[in-house]
Copies of this chain bind each other. A is one copy, B any other.
Amino acid sequence: MGRNRATLADVARRAGLSKTAASMVLNGREGTRLSAEAHQRVFAAAEELGYRPNLAARSLRTRKTATIAFVSDIVATTRFAGDLIRGALDAARERDHVLLITETQGDATFEQYAIEAVLDRQVDGVIYAAMATRRLSVPAAILGGPVVLLNATSPDGLPSVVPDDEGAGRSVAAALLELGHRDAIALIGRNRLKEDDPEVSLAASARLHGIRQTLDEADVSLLAECFCTEWLPEHGYAAMRGLLSKPKRPSAVICMNDRLAFGAYQALGEAGLTVPEDISVISFDDDPIAAWLRPSLATTALPHEQMGRRAVELLLDGGVAEPALVGMPLRRRRSLAPPAG
């Protein structure tokens, strides 16, 4: 890779100047008294030789690598990770930085290894990302330099970026109230573990809180709340069947994520009910399936790309201590309608 690249010395020689001069010109240093002609000769030489600086050499001296480590627990499992990374990549490119990506798989040994690997490479900072929004404590090793938590918060008060799940909860509830739903709104996806343990999830309690707050303000209370051990389609399916077996049928259902909603759709289909005429459905995440469902599913989008971007900006530009909340936009789709009767 990169054999016979021209070096700074080559450029200087061709320009008939010293390495010092060449370096200063190419770095656009102010206050050097190099002549306009010297500038031109250096630029011309660099151009002709196709000179590109060797960043390994540069960073040895400057202790800057223009490289950011993106350390996450799990990259692959959730498809959202891709958006997080894409946002970070975009922002990094805009600032002439590059991303070194590693994965810990939630394993302490791997984590240790990953962190050493990136620190050995002299990264300028670390983005420590979690794939489920949660609280965590970061390994001490990375505290020596800039760190930003992505999709996570920590007790150490490190800068962090998280989605505004509470706001999303409010939007969801408000959207239903707006349509006239009141006394027959059901909720699918209560989960003690997620709600009570911030190290498992911050989203569950925030979403619930947002929903409750808005409903309370309108003096509305939920018709039913279904607990689910996980937030997968099968649990949404079972929960919806449960709801339909009760005497009073809900006019609208809030699902804690799109996968639950997907399962709920399946149960509704089997029961011969149509969305949204018989029941409105709304949820969280904006998983790609939300748009693929028939009818398309109204939901609040996890702004992963934005979040990745913010994390890089916070890391490089410095940022506030309190968590940066990124809004979750409501995607109004066809699964919403006013209540039937």
CB-CB under 8 A from A98, the residues of chain B are 100, 102, 117-118, 121
Specify which chain B residues have a CB less than 8 angstroms from the CB of A89 in the assembled complex. 75, 101-103
Establish whether residues A119 and B2, one from each chain, have CB atoms under 8 Å apart when the complex forms.
Answer: yes
Question: Does chain B have a CB within 8 A of A332?
Answer: no
The answer to whether A124 has its CB under 8 Å from any CB of chain B is yes
Interface residues of A in 89-143 (CB under 8 A from B): 89, 93, 96, 98-103, 110, 113-114, 116-126
| Chain A, 31-90, CB within 8 A of any chain B CB | 52-57, 59-60, 65, 67, 70, 75-79, 81-83, 85-86, 89
CB interface residues, A 295-341, toward B, < 8 Å: 305
Beta-carbon contact of A121 and B53 below 8 Å: no
Which residue of B53, B67, B85 contacts A75 across the interface (Cβ within 8 Å)?
B85
A154: Cβ under 8 A from any B Cβ = no
Distance between Cα atoms of A292 and B101 in the complex (Å) = 30
Among A65, A77, A85, A292, max chain B CB count under 10 A is at A292
Residue of B with least CB distance to A62: B56
A101 close to B102 (CB less than 8 A): no
Among candidates B2, B55, B116, residue contacting A145 with C-beta atoms closer than 8 Å: B2
Interface status of A146 (Cβ within 8 A of chain B): yes
Inter-chain contacts of A121 with B (CB < 8 A): 55-56, 65, 67, 98
Q: Is the C-beta of A262 less than 8 angstroms from some C-beta in chain B?
A: yes
Contact B60 A259 (CB under 8 A): no
Judge whether A13 is part of the interface by a CB distance below 8 angstroms: no
Cross-chain contact A259 with B292 (CB below 8 angstroms): yes
Shortest beta-carbon distance, A121 to chain B, in Å? Answer: 5
Given contacts A54-B60, A100-B98, contact A82 B86 (CB under 8 A): no
- State whether A122 and B292 are in contact (beta carbons under 8 Å apart), knowing that A79-B82, A102-B99 are contacts in the complex: no
Copies in the complex: 2
Nearest chain B CB to A235 CB, angstrom units: 11
In the complex, what residues of B have CB within 8 A of residue A180's CB? none
Residue picked from A83, A98, A123, most chain B C-beta under 10 Å: A98
Q: Which residues of B contact A82 (CB under 8 A)?
A: 75-79, 81-82
Which one of A59, A82, A233, A234 has the highest number of Cβ atoms from chain B below 10 Å of its Cβ? A82
A144 in the interface (beta carbon within 8 A): yes
Nearest to A116 among chain B residues (CB) is: B52
Contact A292 B232 (CB under 8 A): yes
A16 interface residue, CB < 8 Å from B? no
A81 to B305, CA, bound (A): 15
CB distance from A312 to the nearest CB of B (A): 13
The yes or no answer to A193 lying at the interface (CB within 8 A) is no
Considering the chains assembled together, what is the distance between the CA atoms of A288 and B262 in angstroms? 12
Extra A-B contacts (9), CB below 8 Å, given A56-B56, A76-B82, A93-B110: A1-B119, A1-B122, A1-B126, A2-B145, A3-B145, A82-B82, A86-B103, A89-B102, A98-B121
Interface residues of A, Cβ cutoff 8 Å to B: 1-3, 52-57, 59-60, 65, 67, 70, 75-79, 81-83, 85-86, 89, 93, 96, 98-103, 110, 113-114, 116-126, 144-146, 232-234, 237, 259, 262-263, 266, 269, 288-289, 292, 294, 305
